[in-house]
Amino acid sequence: MNRMDVDPAWQRHAPDDPELDEHARAAKRRKIILVAAIAVIAAIIILAMVLMRGGSDSKAPTPANPAGTQDAPRVTVIVPGRQQIVNVITATGTLAARRDMPVGVAGEGGMVSRVLVEAGAWVRAGQTLAVIERSVQAEEARQLAAGIDVARADAALAQQELDRAQALVGRGFISKADVQRRIATRDSANARVRVAQAQFGAARARIGRLDIRAPVAGLVLSRNVEVGQVVGSGSGALFRMAEGGRMELRAMLAQEDLATVRLGSPASVTPVGSTTSHQGEVWQISPIVDPQSRQGEARIALSYSPELRPGGFASAEIRGGTVDAPLLPETAVQSDAKGNYVFIVDAQNRAVRRDIKVGETSDRGVAVIGGLNGNERVVLSAGGFLNTGDKVTPMRSGVQQ
């Protein structure tokens, strides 16, 4: 067949046409992209269905987790119950002498010539602590002593004259009236002797009062006088003493604690800076409460010890009987600006804050004297990471309280 007889249109669409090949390749690419997009969408749908099925299965109740709380944090709880606990009241206060006795000038005073004791010395009753210069008073005493001798001489002369008069009255040389006058003269002379003796005794007493003496046996706490100092009745206390060296702690207690303390309650006192405790007992309880602080004073009697210095600060533990209260480990008790509290788990397994009042804290734990009955489920630890209303999974502790 002649080559010229072929249809020209067929020649334009022959397989060897470059334009036809380009269209074919573009269609093939579109088909591949469409298939890949469908595959990606299908994979995403399948993954979403798997995740949704897994989430619903984890929240569904199971025999091991009937409440469906697998996502709730686990906390350890205890039920403390109630125990007989010794009620120990903790307080602070100031150390002082049980009988703080100021010693001053009892007489007219003068210039101090000698000081015989220092602070910290033990003295007996009546012992001289300081001496005041007495040269003037001594001369006055000697003058009064001489006056006694004069009065005695006058009394002796009056007695002799009376005796002579009585011997002559019977002979008629002296009248009875003269005898009576001589008797009066004799009696007056004897009275002047007694007056002189009294004046001399008063002078000696004044001289004796110039000595500053200890009123009782005890410990000298302070010395406030020096040699050469002029002292008098208005000079104040020259020495301070503790009767018998006995000390005390004036502990300040809250009103509710003061009501539980009794006379004779044993107490343990520890001065600041010391690790030694001193045993004593409550010997006086304040009959009033300060209207501002709502506190009262309990005075704890203590024996002498060099560590017990009046004016120092100390803490006390007063044992005031027993109380029936729950006992918690220290890890269960939290505190903030509002006070002490614990977290308990309610019937819906939710954490609930419960404010409490704590009592004695010892190696055994913390006594809760208010806020708990003892039958609550108390969070043992991790309470600081909980908030009221948080869902939890309670796990009972094996520790016996």
Burial class (CB in 10 A: 0-12, 13-18, 19+), 105: buried
* Higher-pLDDT residue of 2, 221: 221
Confidence grade of residue 186 (pLDDT, cut at 50, 70, 90): confident
> Is-contact 247 98, C-beta < 8 A?
yes
pLDDT value, residue 21: 65
Q: Which pLDDT score is estimated for 20?
A: 53
Residues linked to residue 76 through DSSP beta bridges, in sequence order: 395
Distance of CA 75 to the CA centre of its chain: 36
For residue 268, pLDDT over 80 is answered with yes
Beta-strand pair 339-345/230-231: unpaired
Residue among 334, 397, 330, 335 nearest 365 (CA) = 330
Domain boundaries in the chain?
3-59, 74-81+326-396, 91-98+246-323, 102-223
What's the 3-state SS for 115-133? Answer: ECCCCCCEECCCCEEEEEC
Residue-level pLDDT at 222? 92
Mean pLDDT of 249-272: 89
Q: What DSSP letter does each residue of 362-388 carry, written as one string?
A: ETTEEEEEES--S-SEEE-S-GGG--T
Average pLDDT over residues 367-379: 88
The CATH architecture of the domain made up of 74-81+326-396 is Beta Barrel (2.40)
Q: Name residue 34's amino acid.
A: L
Give me the DSSP letters along 212-231: EE-SSSEEEEEE---TT-EE
pLDDT confidence of residue 53: 61
Rounded to whole angstroms, the Cα distance separating 61 from 52 reads 16
pTM of the complete model = 0.54
Q: What is the mean pLDDT of residues 146-166?
A: 85
Per the prediction, the chain carries an average pLDDT of 82
Provide mean pLDDT across the span 68-89.
78
Of 339, 378, 396, nearest to 81 by C-alpha is: 378
- pLDDT of amino acid 63: 46
* Reported CATH class of domain 91-98+246-323: mainly beta
CA 55 vs CA 40, 42, 64, 72: distances in Å? 23, 20, 17, 15
Q: How many CB atoms lie within 10 A of CB 335?
A: 10
Digit-coded pLDDT (tens) for 304-355: 988 999 999 999 988 876 778 888 888 889 888 888 999 999 989 999 999 9
Pick the range with the lowest mean pLDDT from 21-25, 126-130, 201-205, 215-219. Answer: 21-25
Mean pLDDT score, 215-237 = 89
Question: What integer is the mean pLDDT of 366-378?
Answer: 88
Q: At residue 314, what is the residue type?
A: A
Helices 176-208 and 135-169: crossing angle, nearest 10°? 160
pLDDT, tens only, 5-40: 444 443 444 445 555 566 677 777 777 888 788 888
Q: What is the mean pLDDT of residues 93-104?
A: 92
Question: pLDDT digit string (tens) for 353-367?
Answer: 999 988 777 777 888
Q: Is the Cβ–Cβ distance between 222 and 239 less than 8 Å?
A: yes
Q: To the nearest 10°, the Cα dihedral for 189, 190, 194, 195? A: -20
Residue 400 has pLDDT above 70, yes or no: no
Answer with the residue of higher pLDDT: 120 or 210.
120
Which amino acid does the sequence have at 376? E
What is the number of other CB atoms lying within 10 angstroms of the CB of residue 149? 11
Nearest by Cα to 358 from 345, 344, 340, 342 = 340
